[in-house]
């Protein structure tokens, strides 16, 4: 999917919600366990219940890789089930030397046909640029993450500048606003305005609302730009929003609340 298509989808749906399919087989309703592929049965119901409310789905590959070959098959079924026109993210956080990075890019862009993959930039330019060489595909580079550990490196200063800022500016110079986004945690609302000042046009993938306590209001007020510019992810707060029997309906209600709030922040701005 290209940038304009993503922006159009955000405008049409009045939403920048990304639903995170972090599907843990030990947490899905017990009645689904009799299905041939219980995790897919769960994902299918969640997608059916939320597809009109969100503009992206993020599949955290760890929840699938941990199940071995069955998990990879479920991942494939899930990404193929997501309707065309909804942006897909493989949250795999890959990063390695150039020829290996190319294989990771092929895995997620070609074999599994995701629109994007999350990339850990610690190994530098040759580990990131292979993800930028595919038409209408996106590298989503970890910028300032939502977790406590972001303080250990990202929020350390190198000279007068935070490391995350140096990393984001340098990575941005390798790509364009058409093939690179950045992860900025919703728990980092104090910094998102500053990040927006030096990256005015990039899309940010923002995890950390819901279970991690980030404020949708704060990040929206400081992070939205003229094209929307945000994909705000909620995983547990949507997919495990309710009880076993009504899990899909409860997920829909949770997604609907996020979407309604987003519609308010978007207003007539885009």
Ligand X SMILES: O=c1ccn([C@@H]2O[C@H](COP(=O)(O)O)[C@@H](O)[C@H]2O)c(=O)[nH]1
Q: How far is CA 110 from CA 5, 115, 180, in A?
A: 20, 9, 17
Nearer residue to ligand X within complex by CB, 98 or 213: 213
Instruction: Annotate each residue in 51-90 with x if it binds ligand X (CB under 6 A) or - if it does not, as one string.
Output: ---------x------------------------------
In the complex, least distance from residue 50 CB atom to ligand X, rounded to whole angstroms: 14
Q: Report, in this order, helix, strand and coil percent for the chain, each rounded to 5.
A: 50, 20, 30
233 interacts with ligand X by CB under 6 A: yes
Strand 87-94, strand 116-119: pairing: parallel
Q: Which residue has the tokens 């690179």?
A: 180
Nearer of residues 84 and 120 to ligand X, judged by Cβ: 120
Q: How far apart are CA 266 and CA 270, in angstroms?
A: 7
Which residues fall within 8 angstroms of residue 126, CB to CB, at 6 or more apart? 97, 98, 101
27 binding ligand X? (CB under 6 A): no
- Report, in Å, the least distance between residue 122 CB and ligand X: 14
* DSSP state, residue 52: T
| The one catalytic residue among 27, 44, 93, 222 | 93
Q: Alpha-carbon distance 1 to 11, whole Å?
A: 15
Is 217 one of the catalytic residues?
no
Asked if residue 95 binds ligand X (CB under 6 A), the reply is no
- 264 contacts: CB under 8 Å, gap ≥ 6: none
Write each residue from 156 to 175 as x if it is in contact with ligand X (CB under 6 A), else as -, in one continuous string. --------------------
Does 22 contact ligand X by CB under 6 A?
yes
3-state secondary structure of 134: coil
Stretch of 145-153, 170-178, 222-230, 260-268 lying at the interface with ligand X (CB under 6 A): 145-153
223 near ligand X, judged by CB under 6 A:
no
Q: Least distance (Å) from ligand X to the CB of residue 234?
A: 5
Binding site for ligand X (CB under 6 A): 20, 22, 60, 91, 145-147, 183, 185, 207-208, 210-212, 233-237
Q: Which residues are catalytic?
A: 93
């Amino acid at each position: 999917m290209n940038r304009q298509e993503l922006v159009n989808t955000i405008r049409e749906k009045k939403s920048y919600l990304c639903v995170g399919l972090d599907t843990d087989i030990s947490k899905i309703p017990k009645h689904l366990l009799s299905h041939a592929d219980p995790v897919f049965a769960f994902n299918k119901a969640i997608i059916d219940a939320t597809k009109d409310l969100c503009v992206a789905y993020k599949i955290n590959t760890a929840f699938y890789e941990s199940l071995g070959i069955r998990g990879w098959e479920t991942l494939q079924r899930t990404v193929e089930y997501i309707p065309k026109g909804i942006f897909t993210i493989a949250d795999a956080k890959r990063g390695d030397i150039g020829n290996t990075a190319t294989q990771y890019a092929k895995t997620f862009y070609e074999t599994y046909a995701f629109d994007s993959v999350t990339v850990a930039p610690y190994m530098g330019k040759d580990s990131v640029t292979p993800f930028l060489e595919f038409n209408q595909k996106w590298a989503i580079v970890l910028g300032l993450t939502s977790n406590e550990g972001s303080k250990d490196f990202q929020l350390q200063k190198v000279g007068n500048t935070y490391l995350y800022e140096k990393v984001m500016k340098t990575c941005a110079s390798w790509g364009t606003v058409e093939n690179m986004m950045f992860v900025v945690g919703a728990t980092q609302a104090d910094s998102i305005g500053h990040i927006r000042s030096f990256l005015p046009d990039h899309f940010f993938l923002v995890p950390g609302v819901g279970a991690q306590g980030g404020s949708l209001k704060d990040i929206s007020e400081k992070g939205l730009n003229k094209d929307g510019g945000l994909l705000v992810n909620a995983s547990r707060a949507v997919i495990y929003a309710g009880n076993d029997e009504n899990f899909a309906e409860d997920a829909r209600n949770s997604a609907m609340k996020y979407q309604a709030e987003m519609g308010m922040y978007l207003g007539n701005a885009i």
